[in-house]
Amino acid sequence: MTESKGLTTATFLTLAMLTCLGPQAHAAQCGSSSAGFSAWKQEFASEARAKGISASTVSALMATNYAQATINADRGQRSFSLSLDQFLAKRGGASIVARGRSMKQSQGALFASIQQRYGVPPGPLIAIWGMETGFGSQRGNQNMLSSIATLAYDCRRSAYFTEHLYAALQLIDRGTLSAATRGSMHGEVGQTQFMPKNILAYGSGNLDNAANALNSTANFLKAHGWRAGAGYQPGEPNFAAIQAWNAAGVYQKAIAVMGRQIDGGE
């Protein structure tokens, strides 16, 4: 390397580092308690406006409250540390399978249509539906925007939830969601509990409608590598798509087990 080339490379690397640091330097400051939430909202609102979020949606963001219940839930996800048998017992796995087998029969046309379109059989879809909301009976009653704004502000996983917050704001701008939308503790909404960024990418229609939610879930799985006819147990090709749906290993295994049982396996 000649000296001139070395200086050019060094200058380029310096500029690249400054470019990478720029957005972080101006990003809203995260926090670990409610104390800084109002100031964070002011900073984040300016960033959101600069990204094209409408004034009315920014106003909705400014009206959000610090969701202490969401923080408590985020810190206390103890069930994911259980063994598979313990997790299935706690989440009612046997009931999900029993009801799931019945639904597979009663809604056969819907599941046949989904399998033909996306290659995903009924079992894992029904297992996810049952696990997430008890087949739509427990969709949460938290304000979606407050939950996600709180998690975007919280330093624990700020970057991850900031992406979902921007997606939520876009969805509100589009009219897909509203500032009053209710969901679960982490901002999940609908029959199978979609996060906002995934609604943008894979959602179709009102996700409080079971058929829309199940089609959207199958769309998500297909987009994450689901192959029609391949297995979905641990070590089989389609298990990776289940892993993409939820990061907890015990959850992934539970969906695979219940899905197999619903689909007729043991």
Section 15-38 average pLDDT: 67
Q: From residue 77, how far is each of 1, 81, 85, 238, 266 by CA, in Å?
A: 53, 8, 17, 26, 29
Cα distance between residue 194 and residue 169, in whole Å:
15
Q: What is the dihedral of CA 174, 178, 183, 188, to 10 degrees?
A: 20
Q: What is the pLDDT of residues 226-241, one digit of tens each?
A: 999 999 999 999 999 9
Could you tell me the pLDDT band of residue 28, with boundaries at 50, 70 and 90? confident
Burial 197-211, CB ≥16 within 10 A → b, else e: bbbbebbeeebeebe
Q: How deeply is 263 buried, as exposed, middle or buried, from its count of CB atoms within 10 A (0-12, 13-18, 19+)?
A: middle
Q: Are 243 and 253 in contact (CB under 8 A)?
A: no
Q: Does the pLDDT value for residue 19 go beyond 60?
A: no
Cα distance between residue 37 and residue 42, in whole Å:
9
Cα distance between residue 209 and residue 230, in whole Å:
28
Section 112-128 average pLDDT: 98
Q: What is the dihedral of CA 195, 208, 118, 258, to 10 degrees?
A: 80
Whole-number pLDDT of residue 149 = 98
Q: Are 173 and 48 in contact (CB under 8 A)?
A: no
Could you tell me the pLDDT band of residue 215, with boundaries at 50, 70 and 90? very high
Cα distance between residue 75 and residue 72, in whole Å:
5
Q: What is the pLDDT of residues 50-69, one digit of tens each?
A: 999 999 999 999 999 999 99
Cα distance between residue 151 and residue 155, in whole Å:
8
Whole-number pLDDT of residue 266 = 62
Whole-number pLDDT of residue 54 = 98
Whole-number pLDDT of residue 39 = 96
Residue 43's Cβ-side half-sphere holds a number of Cα atoms within 13 Å equal to 18
| Single-letter amino acid code for the residue at 146 | S
Task: Give this prediction's pTM.
Answer: 0.86
